[in-house]
Structure 1
């Protein structure tokens, strides 16, 4: 039983699709910031603006660049803005998931050691992009359904 002076949960009454989009937005913002933090990102001294020659790795695994981090920050901000409505939240999750599937395909097609790898992406990024794409689309479809 809740205490009478307990603070209300800010998620109470918020549709699940909006909560999912808000959570995704916050996580993208967090990842974008962490991509600049030494210790969490190894090789920050080798961080480049863009391209395959960036030597920075988030959590020592995911190759990142300044552009890559800025994209995550922008993605997070857009996610939070679109999460203000059910339609926007669903669009962010499904559309954003589709973008991540395209990034996964880009990672498969792009030669990782050339200028075509502008973001940059590596094999770990590819698996992450596949998971994010499928997961975001699933969240958008499953949490965005109208209730009876």
Structure 2
């Protein structure tokens, strides 16, 4: 008996799509958790934007309302772009580049200055490095077979 392709959507997703879906879901979760007192310490100091927000997700990563909204939007974008392999790859690679740019931004600004409007701290910088490299690697490596990247036909 042959199977005519009536399987689940998850079974038809490529690895790069699954990765974009997972990354998007994590960003969505992080955005939500940033608004939950207790998971976000010093919640009473949460500001819309700026370095004066002393609220920290998991007691480590400095956040603000704007920072949480960016995580939520990045999560929704990941879920939406996971619909096709090409879009999923673009989300992971370009998203990774955005996080590497945020790393550079976080390294060059003074953390106590008005330029730190997101806000960022050293833990955020390390996380942005890991996210940037990791997302680019996922986007490139997981799409090689699906999109034929680097192959000759």
TM-score (norm 2): 0.89
1:12 aligned residue: 11
Partner in structure 1 of residue 136 of structure 2: 137
Cα distance between partner residues in 2 of 1:10 and 1:26:
17
Question: Which range is displaced more, 54-63 or 10-19?
Answer: 10-19
Structure 2 gap ranges (5+) = 1-6, 149-153
Query: Larger % of helix: which?
Result: 2
For 1:49, the equivalent position in structure 2 comes to: 48
Between the two proteins, the alignment pairs up a number of residues equal to: 141
| Residue 128 (structure 1) aligns with | 127
Ranges in structure 1 where 5+ consecutive residues have no aligned partner? 1-7
Secondary structure class of the residue paired with 2:56:
strand
Distance in 1 between residues matched to 2:82 and 2:10, nearest whole Å:
12
The superposition leaves residues 44-92 of structure 1 with CA deviations (integer Å, 9 ceiling, x where unpaired) of 1100000000010000000000000000000000111111011100000
TM-score (norm 1): 0.92
Q: Does 1:66 align with 2:92?
A: no
1:145 match: secondary structure: helix
Structure 2 match to 1:21: 20
Structure 1's consecutive aligned runs of 4 or more residues displaced over 4 angstroms after TM superposition are none
Q: d(CA) in 2 for partners of 1:144 and 1:53? A: 41
Q: CA deviation at 1:146?
A: 2.6
Q: Please report the RMSD computed on the Cα atoms of aligned residues, expressed in angstroms.
A: 1.2
Match of 1:84, SS?
coil
Give the 3-state SS of the residue equivalent to 1:118 in structure 2: coil
The alignment status of 1:40 with 2:28, answered yes or no, reads no
> What's 1:3 paired with?
none
1:10, CA displacement in angstroms? 5.0
Give 2:30's aligned residue. Answer: 31
